[in-house]
Structure 1
């Protein structure tokens, strides 16, 4: 039997302990990053929402990707900024579980959205005449709703399994709470949680990668058979998606690598860096890639910046 008095209900975020010496520097960097992500991403989302000619499935999926980026950055930065300013390093179990749920939701929505976007481009290039009926805005919104609902259910199960575990440790070797960091603090046997989490993550990533790789290979093969103008337009769009997806894939590798490293031998700042890169990079890279490489978005962004510049000019 586990002694009830040893079960932990609050935890120390070791990442915050590591940042204590330069906390005002990290506070400034975190605040600046969060504001830049929110302002730039919100601007692109508002462009897609308010511009009628961008009301197409591809832009709806991009919009969902960017909204998820806002969700992901909000999962980390506000709490981090407040904790750095207040000097607090302790988090309750409930708050930790909520943050873990949000962190994993962000990652799963990102992966599923890229999967649907690959299928969307395959249909657009492979079935151009039937595409308007195969992928309508209504169907795109249905796919987006399914992504969020499926993710909520899929992430809730392992997080609830963790909530029922008796946790004896108090040190979270990270900058934020995630499910595996909590499972490692279990008093007894947590093999069921580990196996379930590993199998779920493997199946999800494997199936998504198979679909994405298949769709992009088939799409590129189709592009080789179309006219030069259609080829250039299709390939430009595909390359944009591949840039964004590759960035997400690399950061996911960093996160998976962190879970495989021995906490006793791998330095704490290494864990902080890998987890921070894994969560933050997609929220920065996605709006930059789609804002710069997507012509319709780029022209509207430049137009908005010019308007802001004109408003700052003093009236003569």
Structure 2
């Protein structure tokens, strides 16, 4: 599909029975998007406002929630527009950008969870040195690296792909992920190798680091009953990690086994992938992190009192 302006368009062929359910899809996903933005921004605002939450652990949590909002904003507005459109298309350039940001924020999540595991390791295993090792400026640098490292990995492949010739103009999905590699006329092997290198560097290595740090934490906690309460702060991070790892695993598998999945199953699971994690993150941290929960409780109690009066 090409226009007179030399803009190449890609058809998104992942929606199921769009003519029949377009308004149901639209209002359902709009509701989820509003919930994602409001819930994440509420926790972020609490961390920014309250000085007792200006600690490295909460800086990392706020960064993770900002990442969730950016991840969702990369997908939801275009998806909502597609539900109401007669044709689900995206320009090739926009598709490349959406693909880059999808994996950028995906990789950043793993790096942020890795930094959070290191923060918990220092806090529990080296409590007397925590204030020296985990200064606020160091936390800010870690957050910068969590976004910067994936950018460095993804920019070059995106620029390279922008110059490649397309032999197909139909993407079997509802947004641009690595399925875009199957649209190019040549270089699929090169794309797979490049993708594996990126996967190892931005997902598997951070994941191995997280497993290593939590193993060390478990050993220390097992030997010391005093530190078990401190170890409870690890639970939300582990829940988020397990949840997110399952979703990323699905994304990797479904691209390799595309023909073995029905269109309906692929559509349903893809929707779950973009819905659950960004919405679960603020719920997990809001309920499981004691200090955040205290401020949430005060906020909603104040709102209820204000509305009743």
- Asked if the contact 1:12/1:90 (under 8 Å) is kept, the reply is yes
Between Structure 1 and Structure 2, how many residues are aligned? 305
Give runs of aligned pairs for residues 1-316 of structure 1, distance below 5 A.
9-16=8-15, 18-178=17-177, 180-228=178-226, 230-231=227-228, 233-263=229-259, 265-313=260-308, 315=309
Structure 1 window deviating more from structure 2 (14-23 vs 25-34): it is 14-23
Shift of 1:8: 8.5
Q: Secondary structure at the match of 2:128?
A: coil
1:215-267 per-position Cα deviation (integer Å, ceiling 9, x unaligned): 00101111123343x31x2221112211111111111111112112133x421
- Asked if the contact 1:24/1:84 (under 8 Å) is kept, the reply is yes
CA RMSD of aligned residues (A): 1.9
Which structure 2 residue ranges, 5 or more long, are not aligned? 1-5
Q: CA–CA distance in 2 between the matches of 1:73 and 1:226?
A: 41
1:76-98 per-position Cα deviation (integer Å, ceiling 9, x unaligned): 11111122223341111111111
Which structure 1 residue ranges, 5 or more long, are not aligned? 1-6
- Asked if the contact 2:286/2:293 (under 8 Å) is kept, the reply is yes
- Asked if the contact 1:258/1:274 (under 8 Å) is kept, the reply is no
1:165-221 per-position Cα deviation (integer Å, ceiling 9, x unaligned): 21121111111112x211101112332122111222134333112211110010111
Shift of 1:152: 1.3
Q: CA–CA distance in 2 between the matches of 1:114 and 1:71?
A: 16
Q: CA–CA distance in 2 between the matches of 1:148 and 1:202?
A: 16
Shift of 1:280: 3.0
Q: Which runs of 4+ in 1 moved over 6 A?
A: none
TM-score (norm. length: structure 2): 0.93
Q: CA–CA distance in 2 between the matches of 1:141 and 1:190?
A: 38
